[in-house]
Structure formats: structure tokens, C-alpha cells
């Protein structure tokens, strides 16, 4: 049987955003093709693997088999080493992304989507008949509706009229590794803040279990030099884990830290996930937003097919729902990030940590209110985000 | 044109997002640089593991 060439919906990129978009479109009975250049998504895993229950539960129930550890404490460590411990943090987990990502893809396939792996889309274009073509070598796949979920590169969107080029101050350049060390507690995330460890970002430790963690950091692109993230990571690991017993899985990545891309819809194309900068700019978390945006896009595609006829104007519901939901908070995270980067230095973080170190049962809200004290607009935004 | 050291490159795609003229692309064979490169240096600066270097010297040697 020759491969099918035309689909109602083609989704490029099978990360959480694309796979969930494919799943929801297929659940409603559309013909859906999900493409990824990799053998399986998230190979290698470029992620701390941390998620909050609140954000995730809008789109999926967290399965026990995804969970590597349950987080009870967050340790914030100031540049000079003062520890502030947060206990009031909401339910959060470290999940195994290779299992999680392949489960979301599986659920898309079960819903009826066709998954083509090892398939790189070289270019995308709108045809004269109004349909879209994805070029894969000398082959092409066409669709009425196209979903771009191609991650941080977000290159295909440029073929279709978006300017997705990011400025250095809107990109965290990251390095990551897996470290084994007896001092790692399975129930505690660590954030090491300040320019000392990661200029314009922070270093983090996300435990995959007792004695083993994802360790990484992000440097703001405008503060970076060639190879900077990797060198800072080596320095951080030597500082925090002098007695480590193992260091594996070193790789790197980028996290867009910018307001979400507007518009999210052009003609019959929707853009979702990292490609659309749907990332929490304060903590770099993008899994929950990606899943949710994918779901909204998949549902919008469904609405746009009425009796088998595609009406692209109906896709605008995707942007409306995103803007009213997670989209509002995403913009706030970006405002807070910008303020922190331009107005706060290592000495400031040390002072805040000193003033908070004895407090019990702290939560993010109290810490950020203290951080933005004297700046009513930022405090108000903090209340909206964490209140 | 910038030069990508394929033995170092981790195929993370970060540099692609930085390039104004869309001179960089990632596919299964890794990063490719096209003639559109204007040597602005954005990708060199951003690469987390230092896999890209300026090609000005090499190209004009
Ligand atoms: C170092 C690091 C740590 C992170 N830690 C966390 C964390 O702890 N918690 C959290 O919530 N988030 C974290 N994130 C962010 C999170 O990983 C992303 O937000 C999330 O993966 C976005 O999902 P996505 O589906 O949009 O894109 P991706 O997961 O990046 O998927 C995009 C897919 O598109 C494919 N693709 C791209 N171009 C093409 C093409 N032309 N043809 C075919 N396929 C293509 C790629 O192969 C890829 O599989 C982290 C990111 C980094 C870099
Ligand atoms: S940023 Fe560096 S490691 Fe990542 S794809 Fe580009 S050249 Fe490769
Ligand atoms: S130097 Fe500038 S123009 Fe050339 S590939 Fe890098 S980002 Fe693109």
C-alpha cells in the first residue's frame, strides 16, 4: 500500500505540544499525520524533567509510571551560599521524559493519528489551492491544516510568514548532565541563583531519586559567550558535587524566554509549544504549557472541519483560549524575568536570602513578594501569578 | 560563513532560532550553514558548547 499523501491535519514535531495536538485532532475523527525527525521524541532528553501538578492537570493526569520522585522542598541558595528553604510549594514531581513523551505519542497513535518518525521536514509552503505542503526530501505530504510544533528552532514558521527569530536576551542557553552524588535528596529541588553560577539565569538540581539528579543551568543569551553554558556547568558541578561518583548524559539546549508569539494562527497554520515560546520565562518550564497549547490547537482543528469542509477562520479560537488561560500568566513570567535580569544583582540575592533564611513554611509567593518589594506593579503581578 | 564543528555539535537547534537571515538549518545530518550567513556572530555567542566559530579568517585565507 503506498503511503497516504494527504491528511486533514499534519503536525510537525512530536514533543508534548505536537503529540497532544495530534491526539486531540485524531480523537475527533480527523485524519492526522504526526512527523518527527527523530526515532522517538526526547532522544536525548534535554530537560530537568520537573513539573507541577496544577499546570499539568489541565491537560493530563500524571501517571504513576512517569514519576521518578515527588518533591516536598525547594532549596534556594544565594550566590554566597545562604540557604532559604521553601516547604509550601504545591504538588510537584520529577517525571521520566522518555517514558512520558513516548506515552503521549502512543496516545496520539491510539486515537488514530499516523506517526512517521525519522522524517525531517525540510520546508513548508502554502499551495495555490490553499492547502499546505511539507517537503520531505523529494516527497511531500499535504494538509488542509498544519500544526507547527517544531520546538525551539521554530524554523518552518519562517516559511509561512512568521518572524520567529529570537534575540539573545530572549534565549536561555543551557547545559545539562546527570550526576550521582550521595548528597542529593530525592525530595528536594535546588535553585542556585545569581551571576556567579549562571549569568542572567540560575543553576538547578532536580532529583531523579536518592543520590541522582539532573543538574543544569541556563545563561541568558545576551550574557553568554561561545561555549559558556557548558563551561559554567563544569564549574558548578565541581563546586556543588566535589564528591560525585558519576557524571553522564551531558548535553545542551535552548529555552525561549519571551512573550508568546502573536499571532498563534495564520491562515490554516497553528504554532504551539516552544516554537510559539509558550514557556514559563521565570523558571523555564514548558511541558505543561506545551501540552495545553497542543490540546487547544487540536480542538480548534476539530471545530474548523464542518461536514468535512475546512474553514480556517475557526482556528482563531485556539489563540483566544490560550490568551485567556495560560497565556496571561506566561506574559507575567516574562515581565518578572525582565525586571530581575536588569534590576537585581548577586548582592541583592544575598540580602534577600539573609532576611528569609529563618522563616518557616515559606512559599514562592512570599519569596517573590520580598524580591519585588517597593515595586507595586511587580508585586501585583506576583500576586496574580502565585496568589 | 560560520563553521560548525560537527564532532562537538549536539543538534540542540538553539542556534537556528538566533539567525536573522535563516542561514542555519538542522536536519538528520546535523547543522548546515548556507550562503545567506552574514557573519553576525549571534549563533557563535549562543551555542552552549562552543561548536560554532567565525569563518571570516578561514574564508578569506
Ligand atoms: C535544559 C532544559 C531543561 C528544561 N527543563 C524543563 C523542566 O524541568 N520542566 C519543564 O516543564 N520544561 C523544561 N524545559 C522545557 C521543555 O523541555 C520544553 O518546553 C518542551 O519540550 C517543549 O515541547 P515542544 O513539544 O514544544 O517541543 P520539543 O519537545 O522540543 O519537540 C519538538 C520536536 O520537533 C522535532 N522537529 C523540529 N524540527 C523538525 C522538522 N523540521 N522536521 C521534523 N521534526 C522536527 C524535534 O525533533 C522535536 O522532537 C527544559 C528545556 C531545556 C532545554
Ligand atoms: S547551538 Fe551549538 S550544539 Fe546546538 S545545534 Fe547549534 S551548533 Fe549544535
Ligand atoms: S553568524 Fe549570524 S547570519 Fe551567520 S549563521 Fe550565525 S546567526 Fe546566522
| Predicted pLDDT at A184 | 98
Specify the ligand 1 atom closest to the Cα of A275. 26
Q: By C-alpha distance, which of A272, A304, A268, A317 is closest to A30?
A: A304
pLDDT of residue A90 exceeding 80: yes
Backbone angles phi, psi at A161, to 5 degrees: 105, -5
Q: If 0-12 CB within 10 Å is exposed, 13-18 middle and 19+ buried, where does residue A238 land?
A: exposed
Minimum CA–CA partner of B51 in chain A: A227
564532532: which residue's cell? B7
Instruction: Say whether the peptide bond before residue A260 is cis (omega within 30 degrees of 0).
Output: no
pLDDT of residue A2: 58
HSE, CB side, 13 Å, CA atoms: give it for residue A335. 16
Establish whether residue A228 lines the binding site of ligand 2, counting it when its CB lies within 6 angstroms of any ligand atom: no
Crossing angle (nearest 10°) for helices A326-343 and A376-386: 140
Convert the pLDDT of each residue in A46-68 to its tens digit: 999 999 999 999 999 999 999 99
Q: Which ligand neighbours the alpha carbon of A172 most closely?
A: 1
Describe chain B by its helix, strand, coil percentages, rounded to 5: 25, 20, 55
Is residue A1's pLDDT more than 60? no
What average pLDDT does range A71-89 have in this prediction?
A: 94
CB-CB contact of A208 with A70 (8 Å): no
Helix (H) or strand (E) holding A217: strand A212-220
CA B45 to chain CA centroid, Å, is 10
According to DSSP, residue A15 is labeled S
Q: Which of B17, B25, B38 to mutate to test the interface with A (most CBs of A within 10 A)?
A: B17
CB contact under 8 A, A230 and B20: no
Atom 7 of ligand 3, nearest CA residue: B19
Would you state the cell numbers that stand for residue B2, as one nine-digit string?
Answer: 560560520
Decide if A228 touches B, using CB distance below 8 A: yes
- The predicted pLDDT at position B43 comes to 96
- Cell 503536525, residue? A11
- A194: phi > 0 → left, psi -120 to 50 → alpha, else beta; which? left
pLDDT higher than 50, residue A230: yes
Residues in chain A closer than 8 A to B50 (CB atoms): 226-228, 230
pLDDT in tens, A278-325: 999 999 999 999 999 999 999 999 999 998 899 999 999 999 999 999
Q: What is the pTM of this model?
A: 0.96
Residue B13: strand, helix, or coil: coil
What is the complex's ipTM, to 2 decimals?
A: 0.91
Burial class (CB in 10 A: 0-12, 13-18, 19+), A131: middle
Task: DSSP letter for A267, please.
Answer: T
Q: What pLDDT score does B59 carry? A: 56
Q: Compute chain A's Rg from CA coordinates.
A: 21
Angstrom distance (rounded) from CA A343 to CA A381: 16
pLDDT tens digits, residue range A319-362?
Answer: 999 999 999 999 999 999 999 988 889 999 999 999 999 888 89
Q: Which chain B residues contact residue A122 at CB under 8 A?
A: 25, 27
Cell numbers for A303, please give them: 471545530
For domain B2-54, the CATH class is: alpha beta
Helix (H) or strand (E) holding A67: strand A67-71
Q: Name beta bridge partners: A213.
A: A179, A207
Please indicate whether residue B50, judged by its CB atom, sits closer than 6 Å to ligand 2.
Answer: no
H/E stretch holding B56 reads: helix B56-60
Q: Is A187 a residue whose pLDDT tops 90? A: yes
Confidence of residue B61 (pLDDT cuts 50, 70, 90): very low
Mean pLDDT of A379-387: 91
Q: Domain ranges in chain B? A: 2-54
Bond prior to A44 in cis (omega within 30° of 0): yes
Count CB-CB contacts under 10 A for residue A130: 11
Beta-bridge mates of residue A85 = A75
Amino acid at each position: 500500500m503506498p503511503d497516504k499523501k494527504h491528511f486533514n491535519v499534519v503536525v510537525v514535531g512530536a514533543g508534548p505540544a505536537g503529540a497532544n495536538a495530534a491526539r486531540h485532532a485524531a480523537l475527533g475523527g480527523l485524519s492526522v499525520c504526526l512527523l518527527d525527525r527523530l526515532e522517538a521524541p526526547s532522544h536525548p532528553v534535554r530537560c530537568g524533567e520537573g513539573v507541577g501538578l496544577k499546570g499539568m492537570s489541565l491537560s493530563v493526569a500524571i501517571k504513576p509510571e512517569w514519576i521518578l520522585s515527588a518533591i516536598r522542598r525547594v532549596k534556594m541558595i544565594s550566590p554566597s551560599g545562604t540557604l532559604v528553604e521553601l516547604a509550601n510549594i504545591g504538588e510537584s514531581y520529577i517525571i521520566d521524559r522518555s517514558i512520558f513523551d513516548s506515552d503521549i505519542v502512543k496516545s496520539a497513535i491510539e486515537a488514530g493519528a499516523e506517526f512517521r518518525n525519522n522524517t525531517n521536514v525540510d520546508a513548508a509552503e502554502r499551495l495555490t489551492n490553499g492547502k499546505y505542503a511539507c517537503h520531505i526530501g523529494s516527497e511531500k505530504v499535504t494538509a488542509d491544516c498544519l500544526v507547527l510544533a517544531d520546538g525551539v528552532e521554530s524554523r518552518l514558521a519562517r516559511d509561512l510568514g512568521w518572524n520567529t527569530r529570537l534575540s539573545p536576551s530572549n534565549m536561555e542557553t543551557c547545559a545539562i548532565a546527570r550526576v550521582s552524588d550521595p548528597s542529593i535528596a530525592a525530595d528536594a529541588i535546588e535553585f542556585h541563583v545569581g551571576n556567579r553560577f549562571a549569568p542572567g539565569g540560575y543553576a538547578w538540581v532536580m532529583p531523579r531519586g536518592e543520590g541522582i539528579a539532573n543538574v543544569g543551568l541556563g545563561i541568558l543569551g545576551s550574557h553568554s559567550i561561545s561555549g559558556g553554558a557548558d563551561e559554567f556547568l563544569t564549574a558548578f558541578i565541581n563546586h556543588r558535587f566535589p564528591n560525585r561518583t558519576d557524571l553522564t548524559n551531558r548535553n545542551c539546549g535552548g529555552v525561549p524566554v519571551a512573550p508568546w508569539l502573536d499571532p498563534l494562527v495564520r491562515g490554516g497554520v497553528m504554532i504551539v509549544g516552544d516554537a510559539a515560546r509558550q514557556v514559563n520565562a521565570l523558571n523555564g518550564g514548558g511541558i505543561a504549557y506545551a501540552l495545553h497549547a497542543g490540546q487547544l490547537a487540536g480542538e480548534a482543528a476539530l471545530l474548523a472541519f464542518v461536514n468535512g469542509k475546512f474553514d480556517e477562520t475557526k482556528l482563531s479560537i485556539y489563540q483566544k483560549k490560550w490568551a485567556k488561560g495560560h497565556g496571561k500568566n506566561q506574559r507575567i513570567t516574562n515581565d518578572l524575568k525582565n525586571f530581575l535580569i536588569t534590576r537585581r544583582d548577586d548582592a541583592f540575592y544575598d540580602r534577600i536570602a539573609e532576611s528569609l533564611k529563618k522563616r518557616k513554611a515559606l512559599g514562592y509567593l512570599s519569596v517573590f513578594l520580598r524580591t519585588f518589594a517597593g515595586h507595586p506593579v511587580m508585586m501585583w503581578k506576583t500576586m496574580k501569578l502565585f496568589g | 560563513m560560520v563553521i560548525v564543528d560537527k564532532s562537538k555539535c549536539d543538534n540542540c537547534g538553539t542556534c537556528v532560532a538566533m539567525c536573522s537571515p535563516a542561514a542555519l538549518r538542522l536536519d538528520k545530518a546535523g547543522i548546515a550553514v548556507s550562503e545567506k550567513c552574514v557573519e553576525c556572530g549571534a549563533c557563535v555567542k549562543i551555542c552552549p558548547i562552543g561548536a560554532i566559530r567565525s569563518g571570516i579568517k578561514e574564508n578569506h585565507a
